Copies of this chain bind each other. A is one copy, B any other.
Amino acid sequence: MITSTDSALLARLSFNQMTADPWSLEEAVRQCEKNHVPWIAPWRHKLDDVHKAAALIRNAGLQVSSLCRGGWFSAPTPEERRQRIADNRVAIEQAAILGRPVLVLVNGPAHGQTLDDARATVLDGIAEVIPDAEKAGVTLGIEPLHPMYAADRSVVVTLKQANDMAKQLESSAAGVVIDAFHVWWDPEVYTEIERARGHIAGFHVSDWSVPLPGILMGRSMMGDGVIELRRLRTAVEAAGYTGPIEVEIFNDEIWAAADDTLIPRIQQAFLDHV
């Protein structure tokens, strides 16, 4: 039986498109619409035509919670850095067309630089596109990734670091995205969630099962792992965030078995564990 509390929670569920990589955007939208999932989070590499995608999503009665992804600022050469800045400007425009969801920033590895230099480059890169984001009304969500991705995906690895960056940027367009899989282990996470008050731009859920199925494809369905998801959600809400909650699971088995049962399973796990 679905209670009114359940309904209120389900009304915040967003389906991150990479949870079912084999689905086209059309199929993902159809599955969300059929199951009354009100939010969706598309990925840029799966958008053929952003205007058509925006219409498709809007016509199904869905809203976009976030667009993945901008960032990747820490390029090794000035020329590549300029390309990355340009690409982030395109991403901001795409987000504007999709209804101004959060643009999630995955900030990239050190690419042979020292960690300090790479981190400075990332902050510079975000600062450079912040005026574009402000003008477009798009929030940039700095997402700290789990430290196991520090070498190949993100030199931003803790919520403290993301909070520090968001505060330094001093812009209403600078926020942080809190993904449970990336931050659950951190002894400072509850302190930092409170410190993120006023600039929390998103909350993502999945789970960490033991043993971990893999490094990149290591995420599990909520409830299949050890993350204290409800405690994290409660903390994020206590810090003032009441927006959409994205389910973002990269898992080979879930991808291989993605069918009509997937979204109902996600909804149940979401109610039971988030």
Contacts and interface: CB of A to CB of B under 8 A. Distances in A.
Given A114-B228, A228-B115, A150 B185 contact: yes
Interface string A144-181: 00111011100001101100000000000000000000
Interface stretch (A21-29, A64-72, A206-214): A206-214
A120 to B, nearest CB: 12
Interface residues of A, number: 29
Which of A114, A150, A225 has the most chain B CB atoms closer than 10 A to its own CB? A150
A212 B151 contact: yes
A186 interface: yes
A152 B187 contact: no
B208 A147 contact: no
A148 B151 contact: no
Contact of A215 (B119, B188, B215): B215
A170 to B, nearest CB: 20
A215 B210 CA distance: 12
A110 interface: yes
B148 A212 contact: yes
Contact of A148 (B114, B147, B160, B226): B147
A185 B208 contact: no
Interface in A88-115: 109-110, 114-115
Given A212-B215, A215-B215, A151 B226 contact: yes
Given A110-B226, A147-B148, A152-B210, 6 more contacts: A114-B228, A146-B147, A148-B215, A151-B208, A152-B211, A157-B185
29 contacts: A110-B226, A114-B228, A114-B231, A115-B184, A115-B185, A115-B228, A119-B187, A146-B147, A146-B148, A147-B147, A147-B148, A147-B185, A147-B186, A148-B148, A148-B212, A148-B215, A150-B184, A150-B185, A151-B185, A151-B208, A151-B226, A152-B210, A152-B211, A152-B212, A157-B185, A157-B186, A160-B187, A211-B215, A215-B215
Interface of A: 109-110, 114-115, 119, 146-148, 150-152, 157-158, 160-161, 184-188, 208, 210-212, 215, 225-226, 228, 231
